[in-house]
Amino acid sequence: MCPTLNVDVGGKKVELGFSLLRVDCLKPHEEIVYSNYKELYDSISRSQVFLNPIIVDSSSWIVLDGMHRLAVAKSLGLRYVPAMTIDYFSDGIRVDVWTKAYRGDAGRALRLLVDMGLRETDRGDCLMVSQNVTVGFEIPGQSIVLKYELLRGVLRRLRDMFGEPTTTTRETVPNSDEFYIVPPKLSKEDVVEAGMKHTLFPPKTTKHILKARIVEAPVPITLLKQRATRETVEKEFLQSTSIRNVKTLNGKTVYKDRYYDDDKIIILG
């Protein structure tokens, strides 16, 4: 039986599954950014340690967080990846979308959006936000999948024109030389459908906020490559994880250069 962590969050117990999952069973729901993938590939190749567990829905095997880690695992020929498994449709998990921040002329970007078929409207599917103006746009398409298909092309054009965006939250205010694109809202059902049908959303679309998240749990690559029986691999995995110290930190904080909006973050080491 694989380890289960019970974490106290606001006086309530939150159960987190932590196990090894077969790489070929996992389903991403977003595309990846090649430069991010390459940087992670080089890091894991050097360290020979898989440090950050992938977050996976325990029912559908949709990867909720860790698309780049999954891509690296496939490239390295790993059979398993360490994963935190959760009940995605529980009340303690929220899905949001990342706002994309670009540096450049907002007026130029506005003209591009119109040229690509997005119609200005007061209540749009997505927003373009600058320091001086907020514009709503309606994206043609009967379904959220079709809307995001068109948005994918728009984001690629924006990337070619202004460079790779950074991600931020919609609560922040753009600087004078920035503009934001806020994509359409998504539901959990949209995320699962994208993974099941392999109609992937653009990179860094969804943001999942959890009651508790395992952010670090080092597992050697040699274990993840093993072709031994499942029972043998799980036994070695249990032996390596059962002696680790469990460190719990309050969330809404930066840990190793990444901000976590979750209530609690867990380090196994």
Domains of the chain: which residue ranges?
4-94+205-268, 99-182
Q: What is the pLDDT of residues 85-113, one digit of tens each?
A: 999 999 889 999 999 999 999 999 999 99
Q: Residue 242 class from Cβ within 10 Å (0-12 exposed, 13-18 middle, 19+ buried)?
A: exposed
How many helices (H) and strands (E) the chain has is answered by: 7, 20
- 3-class state of residue 156 by DSSP: helix
Our CA dihedral for 53, 267, 187, 145, rounded to 10 degrees, sits at -30
Question: Which pLDDT band, with edges at 50, 70 and 90, does 16 fall under?
Answer: confident
207-220 average pLDDT score? 93
Q: What is the pLDDT of residue 59?
A: 93
Among residues of the chain, what percentage have pLDDT more than 90? 66
The span from the CA of 8 to the CA of 11, in Å, is: 6
Question: Which pLDDT band, with edges at 50, 70 and 90, does 201 fall under?
Answer: very high
Distances 174 to 106, 130, 161 between C-alpha atoms, Å:
11, 6, 18
Residue type at 181? I
11-22 average pLDDT score? 88
Q: Where is pLDDT greater, at 227 or 30?
A: 30
Q: Is the pLDDT of residue 263 over 90?
A: yes
Joined together, the tokens standing for residue 204 give 């860094």
- 3-class state of residue 82 by DSSP: strand
Q: Are 129 and 178 in contact (CB under 8 A)?
A: no
The span from the CA of 6 to the CA of 62, in Å, is: 23
Domain range 4-94+205-268, CATH class:
alpha beta
For residue 48, count other CB atoms closer than 10 A to its CB.
10
Q: Are 236 and 214 in contact (CB under 8 A)?
A: no
Q: What is the pLDDT of residues 235-255, one digit of tens each?
A: 888 777 765 678 899 999 999
pTM of the model: 0.90
Question: Which pLDDT band, with edges at 50, 70 and 90, does 127 fall under?
Answer: very high
The span from the CA of 103 to the CA of 122, in Å, is: 24
Q: What is the pLDDT of residues 158-180, one digit of tens each?
A: 999 999 999 987 778 899 999 99
Q: Are 183 and 151 in contact (CB under 8 A)?
A: yes
The span from the CA of 140 to the CA of 70, in Å, is: 32
Q: Are 62 and 29 in contact (CB under 8 A)?
A: yes
